[in-house]
Amino acid sequence: MKKIAVVILNYNGSAFLSQFLPTVIACSQGAEIYVADNASTDNSVDLLQKEFPTVKLVINPQNGGFAKGYNDALKQIEATYYVLLNSDIEVTPNWLQPCIELLESNPDIVAVQPKVLSYHTKTKFEHAGAGGGFLDKDFYPFCQGRIFDLTEEDLGQYNETKEVFWATGACLFIRSEAYHAVGGLDEDFFAHMEEIDLCWRLKSRGHKIYYCPDSLIYHVGGGTLNYQNPKKTYLNFRNSLFMVTKNYEGILFFKLFKRLVLDGIAATLFLIKFQFKHFGAVFNAHMAYYKNLSKFLKKRKSEKNQIRVNITTGFYKKSIVFESFLFGVKTFKDLDQKDFL
């Protein structure tokens, strides 16, 4: 039998562990459950040791963020499949089996995500992953069920198992061998978009990423960093530039120049709305990007030296920014499916 390790990364999240871990334990028969603690300063470790003795505990010596936290923990966990699971998620009965069966059905499939609905509004998709992720021609991410901040009602419109570009890190099923073969998550991202970078590297090596609607979870979202927090804005803008620099195979200057212009427009909109901290977050993200540019150019060179294939699925050939803000497209279904690779 293939070994499944459900791994929950925790940082000062004892309240979420108390709330959601019992359901994970009850609904995850056949899997070993781990909590990787990122040097929490609350009572998380005591809680786990006293209240959840069947859960295996991995203690990281520092809070290195999402990426380093998982990399450090997964080096210590032997399994065929890892399930990276956020602590603020309510799983449902039989959530594991459909995704594992999909992985088992095709060796080319190396990562899968379930349908992600909102814990607070259980009829709606949740921002982080929704019904599987895509990138537009300028590498802005969006999902089935979520374009920018607009999430859709789940009416069964995305109940097709299908290949996507990226799978959410909130609940990521992944072959351990593939995870380690590409070096795991990029620790320079710290948090946010590192799963998209990981999926990009996997797809560039000929692997497939899938969305599995037969598996369902409910995500609180923003459990560690609220969606309205300027730090999240900073990380998203900075890490998006990191990701493009590292993985885009075309002429980088022109693609980056366009992204910088679009980011400038976004920053101006923050300014118009008097969201000064978010404006500052975009500015600081760009300053951090320039500071790290030489490092990511080296990573880009390293990626180019890998045996890579042309990615043929998951890209949207138009601009989701223009389609959404200029042409009023609000749902994934409104996009012409002929415009997807």
The full set of domains in the chain, from first to last, is 4-219 (3.90.550.10), 230-309 (no CATH)
pLDDT at 225: 60
Residue 265 pLDDT greater than 80, yes or no: yes
Q: Rounded to an integer, what distance in angstroms lies between the CA atom of residue 24 and that of residue 89?
A: 9
Is the pLDDT confidence value at 87 over 70? Answer: yes
Task: Output the pLDDT for position 224.
Answer: 57
> Residues 106, 109, 153, CA angle at the centre, nearest 5°?
115
pLDDT band at 227 (very low <50, low <70, confident <90, very high): low
Which pLDDT tens digit goes with each residue over 151-198?
Answer: 999 999 999 999 999 999 999 999 999 999 999 999 999 988 999 999
40-60 pLDDT, tens digit each = 999 999 999 999 999 999 999
Per DSSP, the residues of 256-272 read HHHHHHHHHHHHHHHHH
DSSP one-letter string for 193-245: SHHHHHHHHHHHTT-EEEEEEEEEEEE---SSS-TT-HHHHHHHHHHHHHHHH
For strand 141-143 and strand 133-135, is the pairing parallel, antiparallel, or unpaired?
Answer: antiparallel
- Distance CA(199)–CA(213), nearest Å, equals 19
* Alpha carbon separation from 65 to 42, 182, 224, 247 (Å, rounded): 16, 19, 10, 22
**pLDDT band at residue 144 using 50, 70 and 90 as cut-offs:** very high
Structure tokens given for 207 = 């692997």
Separation CA 57–CA 245 (nearest Å): 36
